[in-house]
Amino acid sequence: MQARPLARADLITGVILVVFGIAAFAESWGMPRLEERSINPWTAPGLVPGLLGIIIALLGLVLALRSAFAGAFGPQVPLDDDTPEERRAASRRLALCSVLCFIYAVVLVGHIPFWLATLLFVFVFIVSFEWQRDEAWPMRARKLAIAALIAVLAAGFIPYMFETLFLVRLP
Protein backbone atom coordinates (compact mmCIF):
# COMPACT_ATOMS: atom_id res chain seq x y z
CA MET A 1 0.00 0.00 0.00
CA GLN A 2 1.36 3.40 -0.99
CA ALA A 3 0.94 6.27 1.43
CA ARG A 4 -0.84 9.44 0.47
CA PRO A 5 1.36 12.54 0.22
CA LEU A 6 2.18 14.13 3.58
CA ALA A 7 0.91 11.15 5.61
CA ARG A 8 4.19 10.98 7.53
CA ALA A 9 4.13 14.74 8.16
CA ASP A 10 0.56 14.41 9.46
CA LEU A 11 1.66 11.61 11.78
CA ILE A 12 4.49 13.72 13.22
CA THR A 13 2.20 16.74 13.56
CA GLY A 14 -0.44 14.60 15.29
CA VAL A 15 2.07 13.26 17.81
CA ILE A 16 3.34 16.79 18.54
CA LEU A 17 -0.23 18.01 19.05
CA VAL A 18 -0.99 15.13 21.44
CA VAL A 19 2.11 15.94 23.50
CA PHE A 20 1.29 19.67 23.47
CA GLY A 21 -2.35 19.06 24.45
CA ILE A 22 -1.38 16.77 27.32
CA ALA A 23 1.18 19.32 28.53
CA ALA A 24 -1.41 22.12 28.39
CA PHE A 25 -3.88 20.00 30.34
CA ALA A 26 -1.25 19.08 32.94
CA GLU A 27 -0.26 22.72 33.43
CA SER A 28 -3.87 23.84 33.71
CA TRP A 29 -4.56 21.12 36.27
CA GLY A 30 -1.92 22.67 38.51
CA MET A 31 -3.48 26.13 38.38
CA PRO A 32 -5.30 27.34 41.50
CA ARG A 33 -8.97 26.44 41.66
CA LEU A 34 -9.77 29.18 44.19
CA GLU A 35 -12.10 26.85 46.13
CA GLU A 36 -10.99 28.40 49.42
CA ARG A 37 -12.49 31.69 48.26
CA SER A 38 -15.84 30.09 47.33
CA ILE A 39 -15.32 30.96 43.67
CA ASN A 40 -17.60 29.34 41.11
CA PRO A 41 -15.71 26.31 39.70
CA TRP A 42 -16.73 27.31 36.15
CA THR A 43 -14.60 30.45 36.48
CA ALA A 44 -11.41 28.69 37.62
CA PRO A 45 -8.42 29.98 35.64
CA GLY A 46 -7.35 26.51 34.48
CA LEU A 47 -10.71 25.44 33.07
CA VAL A 48 -10.45 26.85 29.54
CA PRO A 49 -6.76 25.93 29.01
CA GLY A 50 -7.49 22.44 30.32
CA LEU A 51 -10.44 21.93 27.97
CA LEU A 52 -8.43 23.30 25.06
CA GLY A 53 -5.56 20.96 25.96
CA ILE A 54 -7.92 17.97 25.92
CA ILE A 55 -9.40 19.04 22.58
CA ILE A 56 -5.96 19.58 21.02
CA ALA A 57 -4.75 16.19 22.29
CA LEU A 58 -7.84 14.38 20.98
CA LEU A 59 -7.67 16.04 17.56
CA GLY A 60 -3.94 15.33 17.40
CA LEU A 61 -4.67 11.69 18.16
CA VAL A 62 -7.29 11.58 15.40
CA LEU A 63 -4.79 13.12 12.95
CA ALA A 64 -2.06 10.66 13.96
CA LEU A 65 -4.34 7.64 13.69
CA ARG A 66 -5.76 8.79 10.37
CA SER A 67 -2.29 9.26 8.93
CA ALA A 68 -1.13 5.90 10.28
CA PHE A 69 -4.04 4.16 8.55
CA ALA A 70 -3.28 6.17 5.38
CA GLY A 71 0.16 4.58 5.17
CA ALA A 72 2.45 6.92 7.09
CA PHE A 73 4.80 4.01 7.83
CA GLY A 74 4.99 2.85 4.22
CA PRO A 75 6.77 4.29 1.18
CA GLN A 76 5.90 7.91 0.57
CA VAL A 77 4.34 9.25 -2.61
CA PRO A 78 6.06 12.39 -3.88
CA LEU A 79 3.95 15.51 -4.13
CA ASP A 80 2.87 16.37 -7.66
CA ASP A 81 3.29 20.09 -7.11
CA ASP A 82 6.66 19.94 -5.34
CA THR A 83 8.38 22.22 -7.83
CA PRO A 84 10.73 25.12 -7.08
CA GLU A 85 7.96 27.58 -8.02
CA GLU A 86 5.50 25.92 -5.65
CA ARG A 87 8.07 25.93 -2.84
CA ARG A 88 8.70 29.66 -3.40
CA ALA A 89 4.95 30.33 -3.38
CA ALA A 90 4.58 28.36 -0.14
CA SER A 91 7.45 30.33 1.40
CA ARG A 92 5.80 33.60 0.38
CA ARG A 93 2.51 32.49 1.95
CA LEU A 94 4.29 31.54 5.17
CA ALA A 95 6.09 34.90 5.24
CA LEU A 96 2.85 36.79 4.59
CA CYS A 97 1.08 34.89 7.35
CA SER A 98 3.93 35.60 9.77
CA VAL A 99 3.98 39.32 8.93
CA LEU A 100 0.21 39.66 9.30
CA CYS A 101 0.23 37.87 12.66
CA PHE A 102 3.13 40.03 13.87
CA ILE A 103 1.34 43.21 12.85
CA TYR A 104 -1.81 42.05 14.61
CA ALA A 105 -0.09 41.01 17.84
CA VAL A 106 2.49 43.78 18.15
CA VAL A 107 1.18 46.78 16.23
CA LEU A 108 -2.61 46.59 16.41
CA VAL A 109 -3.55 44.87 19.69
CA GLY A 110 -3.12 47.29 22.55
CA HIS A 111 -2.95 50.37 20.34
CA ILE A 112 -6.46 50.37 18.91
CA PRO A 113 -9.63 48.79 20.30
CA PHE A 114 -9.42 44.99 20.28
CA TRP A 115 -12.56 44.55 18.18
CA LEU A 116 -11.18 46.89 15.49
CA ALA A 117 -7.78 45.17 15.48
CA THR A 118 -9.50 41.80 15.09
CA LEU A 119 -11.79 43.08 12.34
CA LEU A 120 -8.85 44.50 10.36
CA PHE A 121 -6.70 41.41 10.87
CA VAL A 122 -9.37 38.90 9.85
CA PHE A 123 -10.43 40.93 6.81
CA VAL A 124 -6.88 41.51 5.52
CA PHE A 125 -5.89 37.90 6.24
CA ILE A 126 -8.81 36.44 4.30
CA VAL A 127 -8.43 38.84 1.38
CA SER A 128 -4.66 38.27 1.23
CA PHE A 129 -5.05 34.53 0.84
CA GLU A 130 -8.22 34.40 -1.26
CA TRP A 131 -7.52 37.19 -3.78
CA GLN A 132 -6.59 36.03 -7.26
CA ARG A 133 -5.48 38.43 -9.97
CA ASP A 134 -7.14 36.63 -12.86
CA GLU A 135 -10.63 36.50 -11.32
CA ALA A 136 -13.58 38.39 -12.71
CA TRP A 137 -14.78 41.41 -10.73
CA PRO A 138 -18.08 39.83 -9.55
CA MET A 139 -16.16 36.99 -7.92
CA ARG A 140 -13.75 39.47 -6.31
CA ALA A 141 -16.67 41.52 -4.97
CA ARG A 142 -18.26 38.38 -3.56
CA LYS A 143 -15.02 37.39 -1.82
CA LEU A 144 -14.66 40.90 -0.38
CA ALA A 145 -18.22 40.79 0.94
CA ILE A 146 -17.70 37.36 2.52
CA ALA A 147 -14.40 38.47 4.06
CA ALA A 148 -16.08 41.58 5.47
CA LEU A 149 -18.95 39.53 6.91
CA ILE A 150 -16.60 37.03 8.56
CA ALA A 151 -14.44 39.88 9.93
CA VAL A 152 -17.45 41.67 11.43
CA LEU A 153 -18.75 38.46 13.00
CA ALA A 154 -15.32 37.59 14.42
CA ALA A 155 -14.83 41.15 15.72
CA GLY A 156 -18.11 40.89 17.60
CA PHE A 157 -18.04 37.25 18.70
CA ILE A 158 -14.43 36.96 19.95
CA PRO A 159 -14.57 39.89 22.42
CA TYR A 160 -18.03 38.80 23.57
CA MET A 161 -16.82 35.26 24.32
CA PHE A 162 -13.72 36.34 26.18
CA GLU A 163 -15.26 39.19 28.15
CA THR A 164 -18.69 37.71 28.89
CA LEU A 165 -18.22 33.96 28.99
CA PHE A 166 -14.57 33.61 30.06
CA LEU A 167 -14.48 36.85 32.12
CA VAL A 168 -11.18 37.91 30.55
CA ARG A 169 -10.51 41.59 29.96
CA LEU A 170 -9.08 42.25 26.54
CA PRO A 171 -6.59 44.99 25.72
Quick check: helix, strand or coil at residue 70? Answer: coil
Tell me the per-residue pLDDT of 5-52, one tens digit each, with 9 for 90 and over: 677 888 889 999 999 999 999 999 888 777 667 777 777 778 888 999
Strands (E) located in 34-88? none
- Reported pTM: 0.64
Residues 46, 26: Cα–Cα separation, whole Å? 10
pLDDT digits 0-9 by tens, 80-137: 556 788 778 888 999 999 999 999 999 999 999 999 999 999 999 999 998 877 788 8
Query: Dihedrals φ, ψ of 109, to 5°?
Result: -65, 125
Q: Which of 89, 118, 123, 96 is nearest to 105 (CA)?
A: 118
